[in-house]
């Protein structure tokens, strides 16, 4: 009996072709599905800025605009209020310290001076009268003391004589007791007059000292009033240039009101504003430089102002060596501010894409004329390059122009 043999199951050569075709169809379908799931924006390649990522040396600096200003400005405030009676110097004029710029007049102050002078004269008269009175009392006291001393001496002698006579029983007891009582009275009177004279002397010293102190105080007050009178002459506080003067003849100026400023032109500084993005990296004594007529002039960052306004903060820079010969207040310069040392890094040319992405992602161009969105990480930046820390490789090309027109697209097709 014949036995029927079953055919072995397995892949035959023709099956491999079917499998390859199926995989190709599946890949094409996956790519079609994946491509359709990405939002796409189509644009002409010529309208975009495309740059290449490169490896190179990164110079850690920023470029800022600065304006030349005097090394210091001294403001002039009115010590005393008054009406402008005379204007002696105009704006822009060079002045010396102490030069009179304005003259003011103040009738109330004049009246105060007259009142102070009258009080001073009254105090001086009172002091003179008091001194004369005390001198007279002092003379009278000394005269009274001399009289009591004389009376005491005389009564003592009389008492001693009568005491001797009484012992010899040559005079009566009544006569003896009378001379004794006169002598004791003279002693008491002399003590009283002496005590009164001492008290008058002490009172004289205390009173005259108090009056002298009051008189000195009055003289000091009068001197201060005279200084206030001199302050009606507005003087230059330092050598320099009168920058501005807000005062005209006949104008009333209040005490403490700002009326002008003196620009000290012995040296210059440069005032600049920097984006708040760099506020943690900008410190005092950083090096900087500016270029003028092909020559570089070194600077040092002298002061960083803490206040931020409109997204910017202010700094002052000063020249460390020579400065341009034709430098003038108000000139504007481009300044290179060095934030750190140079180092090897992956460099991405700067572009306006940063305003759209904040440097968190970028469109990378591939060989199929497509640009795919990719996450990146950017470190430092200068006026030409960003330092790329992650997400890109040297030689890759990226779109660096503005992304606002791309909307939410994740893929850009370049025509």
% helix, strand, coil for the chain, step of 5: 40, 35, 25
pLDDT computed for residue 29 by the predictor:
53
**What average pLDDT does the chain have?**
84
Report CA-CA distances (Å) from 87 to 95, 107, 226, 233, 247.
14, 19, 22, 10, 8
Q: Which helix (H) or strand (E) holds 240?
A: strand 240-245
Residue 52's pLDDT band, with cuts at 50, 70 and 90, is very high
pLDDT computed for residue 34 by the predictor:
45
Q: Which of 371, 270, 407 is nearest to 328 (CA)?
A: 270
Residues 391/374, Cβ–Cβ less than 8 Å? yes
Edge-first strand order for the sheet with 40-43 is 40-43, 411-414, 370-375, 361-365, 397-399, 50-52
Q: Span 39-59+343-414: which CATH code?
A: 2.40.420.20
**Residue ranges of the domains in the chain?**
39-59+343-414, 61-69+261-338, 108-228
- pLDDT tens readout for residues 357-376: 888 999 999 988 898 999 99
pLDDT computed for residue 36 by the predictor:
46
3-state SS, 100-115, equals EEEEEECHHHHHHHHH
Is the model more confident about 214 or about 238?
A: 238
Percentage of the chain modeled with pLDDT above 70 = 91
Q: Which helix (H) or strand (E) holds 211?
A: helix 173-230
Residue 129 in this model has a pLDDT that exceeds 50? yes
- pLDDT tens readout for residues 53-66: 999 988 888 889 99
pLDDT computed for residue 406 by the predictor:
87
Is the model more confident about 95 or about 35?
A: 95
Q: Which CATH number fits domain 61-69+261-338: 3.50.40.10, 2.40.30.170, 1.10.150.120, 1.10.3720.10?
A: 2.40.30.170
How far is 280 from 304, CA to CA, in rounded Å?
11
- pLDDT tens readout for residues 148-198: 888 888 888 988 888 888 888 888 888 888 988 888 888 898 898 888 888
How far is 83 from 90, CA to CA, in rounded Å?
18
Percentage of the chain modeled with pLDDT above 90 = 23
Residue 33's pLDDT band, with cuts at 50, 70 and 90, is very low
């Amino acid at each position: 009996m014949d036995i029927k043999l079953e055919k072995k199951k397995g892949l035959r050569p023709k099956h491999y072709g079917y499998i390859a075709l199926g995989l190709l169809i599946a890949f094409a379908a996956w790519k079609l599905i994946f491509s359709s799931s990405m939002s796409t924006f189509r644009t002409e390649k010529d309208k975009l800025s495309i740059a290449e990522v490169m490896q190179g040396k990164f110079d850690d600096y920023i470029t800022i605009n600065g304006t030349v200003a005097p090394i210091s400005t001294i403001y002039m405030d009115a010590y005393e209020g008054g009406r402008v009676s005379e204007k002696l110097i105009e704006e822009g004029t060079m002045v010396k310290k102490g030069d009179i710029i304005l003259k003011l007049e103040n009738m109330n102050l004049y009246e105060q001076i007259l009142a102070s002078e009258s009080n001073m004269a009254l105090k001086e008269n009172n002091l003179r009268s008091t001194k004369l009175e005390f001198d007279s009392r002092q003379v009278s006291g000394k005269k009274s003391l001399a009289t009591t001393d004389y009376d005491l001496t005389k009564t003592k002698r009389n008492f001693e004589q009568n005491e001797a006579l009484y012992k010899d029983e040559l005079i009566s007891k009544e006569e003896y007791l009378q001379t004794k009582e006169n002598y004791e009275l003279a002693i008491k009177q002399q003590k009283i007059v002496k005590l009164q004279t001492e008290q008058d002397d002490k009172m004289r010293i205390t009173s005259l000292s108090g009056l002298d102190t009051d008189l000195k105080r009055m003289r000091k007050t009068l001197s201060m009033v005279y200084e206030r009178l001199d302050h009606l002459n507005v003087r230059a506080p330092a050598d320099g240039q009168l920058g501005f003067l807000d005062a005209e003849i006949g104008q009333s100026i209040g005490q403490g009101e700002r009326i002008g400023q003196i620009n000290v032109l012995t040296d210059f500084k440069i005032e600049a504003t920097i984006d708040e993005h760099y506020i943690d990296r900008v410190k005092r004594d950083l090096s900087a430089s500016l270029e003028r007529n092909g020559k570089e002039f070194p600077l040092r960052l002298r002061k960083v102002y803490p206040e931020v306004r409109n997204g910017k903060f202010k700094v002052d820079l000063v020249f460390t060596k020579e400065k341009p010969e034709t430098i003038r207040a108000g000139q504007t310069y481009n300044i290179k501010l060095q934030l750190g040392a140079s180092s090897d890094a992956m460099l991405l040319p700067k572009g306006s894409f940063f305003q759209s992405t904040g440097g968190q992602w970028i469109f990378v161009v591939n060989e199929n004329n497509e640009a795919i969105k990719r996450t990146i990480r950017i470190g430092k930046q200068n006026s030409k390059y960003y330092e790329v820390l992650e997400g890109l490789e040297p030689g890759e090309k990226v779109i660096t122009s503005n992304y606002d027109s791309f909307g939410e697209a994740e893929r850009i097709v370049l025509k």
